[in-house]
Amino acid sequence: MTTVTVPAAVEQTLETPWWVVLLQGMFAALIGLFLVFSPGVTTVVLIQFLGFYWLIGGIFGIVSIFIDTSLWGWKLFAGILGIMAGLAIIQYPLWSTFLVPGVLVVFLGIEGMIIGLLNVIQAFQGGGWGVGILGVLSLLFGVVLVANPLLGSVTLVLLMGILGIIGGIGAIVYAFQIRRFGVLADGSLA
C-alpha cells in the first residue's frame, strides 16, 4: 500500500476543482500577455469592466439595505459611491483610463512614503540596518511615484501584466498538481 503525502497548501485547495484553478491561471496569463503586448487597449477594456463592476456593486449595495438593515448608512454611502464611480468610468472611458491608474499610483506612492517613514523610525529605535535601508528605499519609491504618476501608471500596467503572466503560469502548474492527487476533500473526484 502506497501512502501519498499531500502538501498542506494543496490539501486546502482540494475543495476547488483543479480545472477551475486551471481556467483562472489561463485567464490571468492571457490578461497578463495582453497588458504587456497591448497595454493601452487592454487597460481601457479592464477599466470599463471595473466601471460596470462598481455600478452593479453599488446597485446591489443599495438593494441589500432592504434585505439587511444593519449598517444601512455605510451601505447607502458605498452604494452611491459605487454607482457614481461606475457611471463616471462608463461615461468617460478614455479619461478614466488615465485617471484610475494615476490615482492608484498616487495612493501607492503615499503608502510607500508612510511605510518607509515608519520603517526608518523603527530602524532608529533599534530595528536594525536592514529595516532602515528598506524604509529609505520605500520612501524614495513613494516619492518617485507621487512626483511622476504618469510614469508610475505605465510601469504599473506593465508590472501587472508581468505578474499576471507569472501568476497565471503558477496557477496552471498548481492546477495540474491538484489534479495529480485526483480527489477533493469531500471524497468526490476532481
Which grid coordinates belong to 102?
494615476
Q: What pLDDT, on a 0 to 100 scale, did the predictor assign at position 155?
A: 83
pLDDT at 12: 52
The answer as to whether 135 is a domain residue is yes
DSSP string of 128-158, one letter each residue: -HHHHHHHHHHHHHHHHHHH-HHHHHHHHHH
Beta carbons within 10 angstroms of residue 179's beta carbon: 14
pLDDT of residue 185: 47
pLDDT of residue 57: 93
Instruction: Assess if residue 66 is contained within a domain.
Output: no
Q: How many domains does the chain have?
A: 1
Q: For the whole prediction, is pTM greater than 0.85?
A: no
The reported pLDDT for the residue numbered 13 is 46
- Tell me how many degrees the CA angle 157-162-163 measures, rounded to the nearest 5: 95
- Domain holding 24, by residue range, is 8-40+93-181
Q: What is the mean pLDDT of each run of 10 residues along the chain (190 residues)?
A: 54 71 94 92 88 93 91 92 92 84 87 91 86 89 88 83 92 89 54
In a domain, 67, yes or no: no
The verdict on residue 3 lying in a domain is no
